[in-house]
Structure 1
Amino acid sequence: MKTLDDAALERAAEFLRLNGRLIDRHRFALHFRGGPAGPVLAALRAYENPDGGYGHALEPDLRGEGSQPVPAQHALEFLHEAGADDDPAVTRIGDYLTSITAAGGGVPFVLPSVRGTPRAPWWQTPQTPADPPGAVNPTATLAGLLHRAGSRHPWLGPATDFCWRHLEGPGADLGAYDVLAILTFLDHVPDRDRAEAAFTRLRDALAAHAHSDHHGPLDFAPRPAGYGRRLFTGETVDAALDALVDAQADDGGWDVAFPIWTPITRHEWRGFTTVETLRTLRAHGRMS
């Protein structure tokens, strides 16, 4: 069993100092240096918009200033890491999601406003209809994260119903990101019996789609607890953890496996990925 030693952690720290975004440097300090949560929250504020949503490349492949649904899930993750589930920003995110919710209770994957902004080529929205429909990705992720935060925002009721209809209705085509969204929802939705029943029914379908050209087992099982871990054997997870330790680059960081369409995004994604990788290794007991 391979583990990451202290020297490797120091190399990761130096990589982040040289290359990481301010918010990821503060996140590293919070998780691995006993740093305070305040700087993480202060850095996050710079990405927030007056409508309560987030833009300004908090999601590195969306370079526009305006709010989009997926950056809101990054914000909820960072708020939770900082122990700030009761921060007023959580309520503001709920208000923002209410303002963009489609008929049925879901939010679109991306809003039409993306068309006038620099973005990665995979961030596309159909020309018709004018108002895109809600999608399980990212609605299920956002609902799951708000449930984890203990939110009672009115947006959550219709959004949760939207997710249950998706999970309990006729089978739909799944992609890797849909699986991630569904797992987040099932991990945190309050009705645990219903979540367990849904996972049992969908497990084979989720497992069959829990991969892509840039997703591996640990993307779906970053922590030992949670439904994602139940999609893989122990041998598969152990092999993935060994490979993750070996994947640290000579400069101390970890790279990404998806295309880079403009140079800055490699640095931004690598800083984020390095912090996430270290958190995954520690959660699985792979840091000495």
Structure 2
Amino acid sequence: MKMTKEQAQKAREFLIHQARPLEAALYAYEFENGSREKVVEELNTFQNEDGGFGHGLEPDFRLSDSSPLATTVAFQVMSRISLDASHPMVEKGIRYFLQTYDEQKGCWMAVPEKVNDYPHAPWWHVSEEKNEGDWGNPTAEIIGYLHEYAELVPREFLEELTGRALDTLLSYPDKMDMHEILCFDRMAVRLADPPKETVYEKLKRCIPQVIGKSEKDWEEYSATPLTFIDSPKSPYLEVVDNSLIEKNLDYLINKQEDKGNWAPNWDWFGNYEEDWPKARDEWKGILTLNNLRILREFKRMR
């Protein structure tokens, strides 16, 4: 099964006219030879004076102040459009990471306590009981960006962090939270060998433990094969049966809605009900763009 031209056109119309300007600019850049400067311009609206990012860049928390988690989302974009280390947006962002590292805990906390003062999904609520989270999310991902822009980072600090990340990962059981797996994957792709291969080998054991195997599983908020295998070049292709990947691709095409978008399969469970619709609409743009990337990579678009 392939996505029809009509489906692709509907997705385009949705992204251009209904998604956030950031996702619209990214779509134009990635699919229509659009302007990288336009992407930078839109991403800049989310950056604060301290160099970090906020203002709902991650739609599930509406905190205007900077957070390490929202800043990783920004670096996903900066990396995708290949901003180099001399760009002011990159320099400020890396400086924010270096200044917000928690020496005592040996990691970055995803969000500050102030997130509680803004509309947010219940899983982002900070409390004494729920303030530690998984070490790798977002710390491992941040370490990846520090490697990508290593010329801006003290060498000894980066070496120490990388060693801690490897030790932490290898101490985990093979069944991990899917978000933490994604963070370690984003670190791995930016490492050199041999640590890159060490991380990949561990994640190859973890991924089959967490992915759903049926459409019923995929209807819930859970990992699918395509959560980790987003192209035929994925290092994890060998650990998931190809027929399951193909089935997941068919499922993805069938889940496109009439307006051309894909929608989140989660909600805020009655929290901030007046704010969830806006976040949901923003997620539609993010998911639609990401799904088009996957379908293009697997040559599932006509």
- Relative to structure 1, is the Cα distance of residues 201 and 21 closer, same or farther in structure 2, using a 3 angstrom cutoff? closer
Matched with 2:280 is 266
The 8 Å contact of residues 109 and 134 in structure 1, kept in 2 or not, is answered as no
* Cα distance in 2 between the residues matched to 1:259 and 1:226: 30
- Relative to structure 1, is the Cα distance of residues 225 and 149 closer, same or farther in structure 2, using a 3 angstrom cutoff? farther
Q: Does 1:217 align with 2:219?
A: no
Identity of aligned residues (%): 26
Deviation of the 1:17 alpha carbon: 3.2
* Cα distance in 2 between the residues matched to 1:232 and 1:173: 15
Secondary structure of 1:177's aligned partner: helix
Matched with 1:3 is 2
Q: Does 1:282 align with 2:296?
A: yes
Matched with 2:40 is 41
More off after superposition, 44-53 vs 216-225? 216-225
Structure 1 letter corresponding to 2:121:
A
Structure 1 letter corresponding to 2:90:
V
Deviation of the 1:146 alpha carbon: 3.9
The 8 Å contact of residues 14 and 259 in structure 2, kept in 1 or not, is answered as yes
* Cα distance in 2 between the residues matched to 1:28 and 1:266: 19
Matched with 1:113 is 114
Structure 2 letter corresponding to 1:135:
W
The 8 Å contact of residues 184 and 199 in structure 2, kept in 1 or not, is answered as no
Report matched runs for 1:1-288 at 5 Å. Answer: 2-86=1-85, 87-102=87-102, 103=104, 105-127=106-128, 135-148=135-148, 152-154=152-154, 156-169=158-171, 171=173, 174-190=176-192, 192-211=193-212, 213-214=220-221, 215-260=223-268, 262-288=276-302
Deviation of the 1:33 alpha carbon: 1.3
- Relative to structure 1, is the Cα distance of residues 216 and 253 closer, same or farther in structure 2, using a 3 angstrom cutoff? same
Structure 1 letter corresponding to 2:169:
L
Deviation of the 1:270 alpha carbon: 0.3
Secondary structure of 2:122's aligned partner: coil
* Cα distance in 1 between the residues matched to 2:172 and 2:27: 42
Deviation of the 1:229 alpha carbon: 3.2
Deviation of the 1:133 alpha carbon: 8.1
* Cα distance in 2 between the residues matched to 1:94 and 1:230: 34
Deviation of the 1:193 alpha carbon: 2.2
* Cα distance in 1 between the residues matched to 2:228 and 2:126: 26
Structure 2 letter corresponding to 1:204:
R
Deviation of the 1:173 alpha carbon: 6.4
Aligned length: 285
Deviation of the 1:157 alpha carbon: 3.4
* Cα distance in 2 between the residues matched to 1:25 and 1:234: 32
Deviation of the 1:132 alpha carbon: 5.3
Deviations 1:87-122 (A, max 9, x none): 232222221112221235421122222222221111
Deviation of the 1:48 alpha carbon: 0.2
- Relative to structure 1, is the Cα distance of residues 37 and 240 closer, same or farther in structure 2, using a 3 angstrom cutoff? same
Unaligned runs of 5+ in 2: none
Structure 2 letter corresponding to 1:165:
D
* Cα distance in 2 between the residues matched to 1:165 and 1:104: 15
More off after superposition, 76-85 vs 53-62? 76-85
Structure 2 letter corresponding to 1:118:
P
Question: Given the two structures, how large is their TM-score scaled by the length of structure 2?
Answer: 0.85
The 8 Å contact of residues 204 and 236 in structure 2, kept in 1 or not, is answered as no
* Cα distance in 2 between the residues matched to 1:232 and 1:151: 37
- Relative to structure 1, is the Cα distance of residues 152 and 78 closer, same or farther in structure 2, using a 3 angstrom cutoff? same
Structure 2 letter corresponding to 1:147:
H
The 8 Å contact of residues 61 and 121 in structure 2, kept in 1 or not, is answered as yes
* Cα distance in 2 between the residues matched to 1:274 and 1:157: 37
- Relative to structure 1, is the Cα distance of residues 228 and 68 closer, same or farther in structure 2, using a 3 angstrom cutoff? farther
